[in-house]
Each structure stands twice: as structure tokens, then as C-alpha cells.
Structure 1
Amino acid sequence: MIRQVNIEPIDLRQDFLETPPITRDEAIAAFEACVKQVEANMDYFQDKFPWSATKELKYPIIENIEWTDGFWTGMLWLCYEYTGDEKFRALAERNVDSFLHRVENKIELDHHDLGFLYSLSCVGGYQLTGSEKAKRAAILAADQLLTRWQEKGQFLQAWGPFNSPEHYRFIIDCMLNIPLLYRVSQITGDPHYAEIAQKHFETSCKYVIRDDASAFHTFYMNPETGGPDHGATRQGYNDDSAWARGQAWGIYGIPLNVRYTHQLEYADLYRGMTNYFLNRLPEDHVCYWDLIFTDADKQPRDSSAAAIAVCGMMEMDRQLPEDAADKAVYRGAAANILRALIKGYTSETCEPGSPILYHGVYSWHSGKGVDEGNIWGDYFYMEALMRCIKDWHPYW
């Protein structure tokens, strides 16, 4: 049975209905500014990768070892798809070589973030070029992700030693990892990958989303019974608050899964999560890093969460019938937030090592990437713009 949650009325319904859509010209101008920054960063990173977030608004350069490295390659593929310029393809293909080496040698892959790493880099590369290397890397990555499968609890374990009771948990972020499994099912013709993806999605929807349609970041299952235990956070303000990026992962994760399963019965769960998010936006409609905060709290924004949510609303727009409840409202909300990002969260200057999207938060508790750029924010902002420019086929 699909989880039923509260669906709040949208407070700014009329404002969103009156929001003009992002024009193709607006999107092209913003995307071409992104292309210029990517070009500058290609010279800066060379064949290496940006760290997850900037430090003093410059990306540190790292080897291919982080969970976030696929976002940079995804940005290269977006630039190649838009421009047709072979320099983007050439660097992206060298990145694919690095990803194949990483998965063949299992370098820093003992976690669930294989989708973030391999969907944008290798599934995207295979989709655009037919590369056999990219295909092989994507399949091996899906196989590696399946090693996190907990049959008793019906979920993919997030981190930690596989048989450790204290790590018997999953997080809402994994909704963006499991599309890798659906795609590899399509590529190989083996339904097992998709079956695991759907089971994890169903478990997530049952437990990580609260009755009020907000989300836990982390949900612990009982290692003895495989049943639910408790929700908690590692990223949000506290266990009972709604971490903005986690809420956005749900807003995008649900339509991505619906894209493969065609289960529109999950639309109400999407509506609940999206309405909760929209009703807690500050005056400029770009969320604080946790939805518990208001303008009076003077907390950092998380522009990356805003960009993820926009992509989710745009993806669900494809899935919903034209007469679906609030479909036009979500279109207006997505345009409203994206326009705020274009106008207030980017820079007119272009310097090597700089982010595209400013004012993001990686991890407030650890002090990492607070009021900085982060590489997934850059990627999702570009994806949202690409969706405004053309009928784009996701790499997810």
C-alpha cells in the first residue's frame, strides 16, 4: 500500500499561477554563461575533479575519489549536448576512463552513491556516444550498488560496514542513486536491477517520509527483524526538522522512479512533499538549508536544494496528465525559483575554479561548504536550464 501523507494547500498558489514561464531565450542566456564557466574550469581541473564544495569560492582539485565526482562529468556532457563542441566530449571521455578504472578497482565505492557517480558520467556518456567503456562502467557500478542490498529490510544500505547493526540504515538521497539500476536493466535486459530499485523506492516511501510530508534524512531499520526502527538526521538541523536538500531529493526522486515504473499512484506523495517545501520558502523563494528556518533566523540558503527541487517539478510535469491537481502551480513555482537562481545566485564574472551557483550548503554541522558553491548545485542548475531549452532526455 502506498503511504498516505498530509497534502498542505499551497500558500502562494495564485502567485505561482501568475508567474511567467522561463523563456527559451532566458534559459539559453543563462546556460551559455554556465558553458563559459565550465570552459574556465576545464583548464583549472584538467583531468582531475573538483572537491564537493568550494573553499572561499574556489574548488579544491582532487582525484576521482569523492561521491560527487560524477556531477562534473555530467556538466561536461550537458555542454557537449548543447554545443556539439568536441572538446567537452574529449574531456568527458577521459573522465569515463577514470570512472571505469575506479569501479574496476573498487576505489572508494563501499557506499550507495554509485548512481550519483555513474549515472551522469557513464550512463550519460553511453546515451550520447554509445561508448562501450561507459556502458561497461555503468553495469559494473550497478553491480557494485547491489552489494549494498539488505534483503531482510528491503533497502540499499547507505554507508558503513555491511554487517554492522549500527549502520543498518538508508537515506533519502538514495532515491537519486537507484535510477542507475533501472537504466542498467534497460541496457542489459536483466530485470533484477529494476526490481531491487523498485523495492528500495517502496521502502523509502514507507518510512523516510513523515506523515506531514516532510522527510527524515536517515532512517534506521531493525537489524533483527528488518522492520522500521526510527528516523534521524546527519544533515538537517535536528531529527525532527526538514533538511531542505533531503526534501528536494524526495521531490526529484519520486518522479524519476515514476518515470520508470509508471506508478502515478505516487503523485500524492510527490504533491505532499512539494507543497511542504513550497510553503516554507523565504521571501526570494530560495530555501534555507533547513526548512525549519525563516527570514528572521538569518541562516544560510541552500541554492543546490532549490535547483534539485526545480528539476523534480520539471520531471513530474512530464509524468502528470494535463488535468492533474496543481500541475500549473508547480510549473509556475519551478519558474519562480529558477528565475530567482538566475538573477540572484550566479555571478557575471567567470574565473577559473569558481562555482556556477553560489550560496549553497554542503554540511552545516561539519562546517563544510557553508555559503559556498557546490558541484551538484552547479549540475542541477544546468540541468534545469537544459530542460527549459529542449525536450531533454535525462542521464538519470
Structure 2
Amino acid sequence: MKSKLSLLLICISLGWESCTPPSKPADPIEVDRQLAYCDTQIRKTLESIGQNSCLMPRSIDTRQKTWNTCDIYDWTSGFWPGILWYDYEATGDTAIRSQATRYTECLRPLITPLHKGDHDIGFQIFCSFGNAYRLTEKEEYRDIILKGARKLARLYNPKVGTILSWPGMVKEMGWPHNTIMDNMMNLEILFWASRNGGGKELYDIAVNHATVTMKHAFRNDGGNYHVAVYDTLDGHFIKGVTNQGYGDSTLWARGQAWAIYGYTMVYRETKDKTFLRFAEKLANLYLQRLPDDYIPYWDFDAPHTADCPKDASAAAITSSALIELSSLEDNEEAARKYRQAAVKMLETLSSAQYQGREQKPALIMHSTGNYPGGYEIDAAINYADYYYLQALLRYRKMMAEDSQQTGKTSD
């Protein structure tokens, strides 16, 4: 108690602006205010899209004010229920929980035999039912997650050691077995399912996928290929190409964000330091290439002209990943670097330039979905909102843990 009192007296003598009381760590993001803002935007969206449909808000283009919606079979369909569950976690509002439940229930057909399923079932099921189970512990949700994980596992090719991403590209592009960087995110449902009754095989599939991807889907500097193409007969790596990046050998921002997040998560699940060191390598390259505002251009190597779009979704994904990476670090200096970078990203994303506020009902703007494909460019996109809200909640938890730790060390 003496140390608290002494510091308090010093703070008073210097002026409060130059000293922060240990019981209230500095919060440059003002996280409670940002979470309240998100809740306001989410309620705007609920009002604008109606509450009797299973259509999900997906994106708002530059000149639009309202959401373009998608059905439950779209790869992004799990993000809106996930956003609602995060909002319920932040607010405790039972009305939001009711909407989260309703939209989550809409996705049940995805785990039925009638739906063939694809590599995105991790996004679809784990962001929705995964958060639902975490916050409600309803046993039926656990069973749905397990079915989703088993469906994903059926796309695994043991000769290659990875999950097939786009079956349609086998004929269209001549990519026999293709695995995209986004798939690193879908491994989380396999790890979870393995720990919750799904068996060790699912764990092994996830580890093998991460290991083979680490070996072949990156260049020497740690930059990612969006797509890794393998032979189906003997599993050898054929080539790395892009689909949504500027070029086959350029650094596509969201792909690098998926990779940082994915390998951080794989380390969390396996405790294998190989994955920690690799996550660091990927993160370090990303941070070295960032512009001053910490929001990347859609591709780090695209010509950065005046009209070159940024990708706020990559920043949201990476900020969430770096908060977790900082908490898992075995090196204090690295932990501090990743944490500071995450905070800077969240500060920019929480600014008037990036938040939707009165312009759009989305949480954040200025994301790039598929620049080469010509859609969702400089748009608000549901997965950007999902990972922004997730990052804010992770940040709030980190701040609470800091406060508890400060209290313990000061007593």
C-alpha cells in the first residue's frame, strides 16, 4: 500500500497528465467506448436488414450506405452471427443474444449430408456455433462443431498433407490439389474438435496442414503465396501462385494476416516453438512493410499510387493475432513490440477515418476483398468487422489482466 501512496503523491506533484495510477493502466483505445460504438452500429445493421431472414450482411461498397447480403452458403456467413455473439459478450444484452442465436441457427443446414461442404466450413461453423458454445455451453452446439470439423477433414489429402481448398480450380486453372493461405484459419475448428471428443486424427490433420504449408507456401523472407499447388499422385509441391494478390511473388496483405493469425493459433494449440518462431518471422516481415498509419495497402508490392486501396480487414485480423501472440511470447521484448503494434493498428481502425459511424452501419470501412476480381474494393466487409470486434475484446481482456497484475505487484 505504501508504494501506491508514494506513487500517488509523486503523480500529484508532477500533475496527473504525466503519471497514470497503477490501478488504471493507460488505455489509448478507450476500449469501452469502442465496444459501445460497435454495439450501436450492430443495432443499426439489425434494423436495416430486418430480423426475420437468414440473409447475412456481407459488404457495403464505397458509394453504398446499406449492406449487400449473402445466404448461408457464402463463405462469410459465419461472421455475422459471430459478431452478434461478441456483442453479447461485451454487453450482456439478452436481445442481442436472441439475435445471435437466431442467425446461428440459420447455419444448421451446413452440417447436413445434403450440403457437400467446403474448406470454409471452419469460418462458417466455428465463428458462429463456436462462439455460441463458448458463451452458452449448449451441448447441441458442441455436436454441430464436431460435425463441421469432420466435414472439413474429408477434404484432407494424406499424400499432400493439406486440405483441398477449391475443387473447381482443379479443372479451371489446372491446380490438381490447391491449398490457399486462408485455410490456416480453418484449422482452429479441427484443434477444438480434437480436444472435445473428435479424436487425435483431427489434431494430426491440422498439424500436418500447418507443417506442409509452412514448408511450401512461403518464400524465404516469410512472404506468402496465396495458393500452393500440389501433385495428387505423390504430393510434391508444384508451384505457388496468387488469386487475390497483385502477383505470384508479391506480398498480399490479407494472406499474410491469415498466416500470422493461423500460426499464432497453431502454436497456442501445439506449444511447438517451431510454430512460434515462424509466427514471429511472418509478423516481423508484415510490420517492416507497414506504412505509418499501420494499415497496409491491399498488397504490399502493388504500386502505391494515390488511388491504391488499403485493406483494413488485414489490419483487423493482424491486430487480433498480435494481441494473442504477445500473450504467448517467451521473449519480453518481442511481446512488447507485438503488443504496441496491435495497439497502433486498433487506434487507427478506431479513428473517424476508418469507423463507419454516421456514414455506414458497418464497424469499420476501407477493406479490400478481391482487387484482381474487381469487387469489394475500398468497402466495409463483415470479416473486417468480426476481427476488429474480436481484437477489441482481446485487448479489453489484456488490459484487465494488466490491471490485476499491477494491483498484485503494488500491494
- Tell me the alpha carbon deviations over residues 348-369 of structure 1, each in whole angstroms, 9 at most, x when there is no partner: 3275xx3211000110011110
1:84 CA displacement: 1.1
For residues 72-83 of structure 1, the aligned pairs below 5 Å read: 72-83=80-91
2:177 aligned partner: 168
- Partner in structure 1 of residue 385 of structure 2: 378
Matched with 2:275 is: 266
User: Is contact 2:104-2:128 (8 Å) kept?
Assistant: yes
**Aligned partners of 2:295 and 2:345 also within 8 Å:** yes
SS class of match (1:326): helix
Query: Following TM superposition, by how much is the alpha carbon of 1:147 offset from its aligned partner in structure 2, in angstroms?
Result: 1.4
Is 1:276 aligned to 2:282, yes or no? no
Aligned to 1:148: 155
Give ranges in structure 2 of 5+ residues lacking alignment: 1-24, 400-411
My pick for the range that moved more, 222-231 or 264-273, is 264-273
Q: In the alignment, residue 341 of structure 1 is paired with which amino acid?
A: L
Q: From 214, 227, 232, give the equivalent of 1:223.
A: 232
1:29-72 per-residue CA deviation (whole Å, 9 max, x = no partner) reads 11110111111112233232335322324212332120001111
**How far off is 1:157 after superposition?**
0.3
RMSD: 2.1
* Residue in structure 2 matched with residue 305 of structure 1 by the alignment: 314
**Correspondence for 1:100:** 108
Q: Which deviates the most, 23-32 or 268-277?
A: 23-32
**1:336 and 2:340 matched:** no
* Greater RCO (Cα-Cα under 8 Å, separation 6 or more): 1
User: Which residue, 27, 50, 67 being the options, matches 2:56?
Assistant: 50
| Corresponding residue for residue 365 of structure 1 | 372
| Residues 1:188 and 2:203 aligned together | no
- Give the Cα–Cα distance (whole angstroms) in 1 for the partners of residues 234 and 299 of structure 2: 32
**In the alignment, which residue of structure 2 is the partner of 1:356?**
363
Which amino acid is the alignment partner of residue 261 of structure 1? T
CA distance in 1, matches of 2:300, 2:369: 15
Residue pair 1:123, 1:134 contacting (<8 A) in 2 also = yes
Q: Which amino acid aligns with 2:106?
A: S
| More displaced 10-residue stretch of structure 1: 157-166 or 133-142 | 157-166
Question: For the Cα contact (< 8 Å) 2:118–2:165, is it kept in 1?
Answer: yes
**Contact kept? 2:356, 2:363, Cα under 8 Å:** yes
Q: Is the 8 A contact 2:222 2:281 kept in 1?
A: yes
Q: Which of 124, 129, 134 is the aligned partner of 2:131?
A: 124
C-alpha change, 1:22 and 1:196, in structure 2 (3 Å) is: farther
Task: Tell me the CA shift for residue 195 of structure 1.
Answer: 1.2
CA distance in 1, matches of 2:140, 2:223: 40
Larger of the two Rg values belongs to structure: 2
Match of 1:292, SS state, is coil
Higher mean C-alpha deviation, range 212-221 or range 51-60: 51-60
Inter-partner Cα distance in structure 1 for 2:306 and 2:177:
34
Runs of at least 5 residues in structure 1 that lack an aligned partner in the other structure = 1-20
Deviation of the 1:170 alpha carbon:
0.3
Q: Which letter does structure 2 place at the counterpart of 1:151? A: P
Of 157-166 and 242-251, more deviation after overlay is shown by 157-166
- Tell me the residue number matched to 2:354: 345
Letter in 2 for 1:205: M
TM-score, length-normalised on structure 2?
0.85
Residue type at the aligned position of 1:50? M
Could you list the runs of 4 or more consecutive aligned residues of structure 1 that deviate by over 4 angstroms after TM superposition?
Answer: 161-165, 294-297
- SS of residue paired to 2:274: helix
Aligned residue pair count? 368
Amino acid at match of 2:77: D
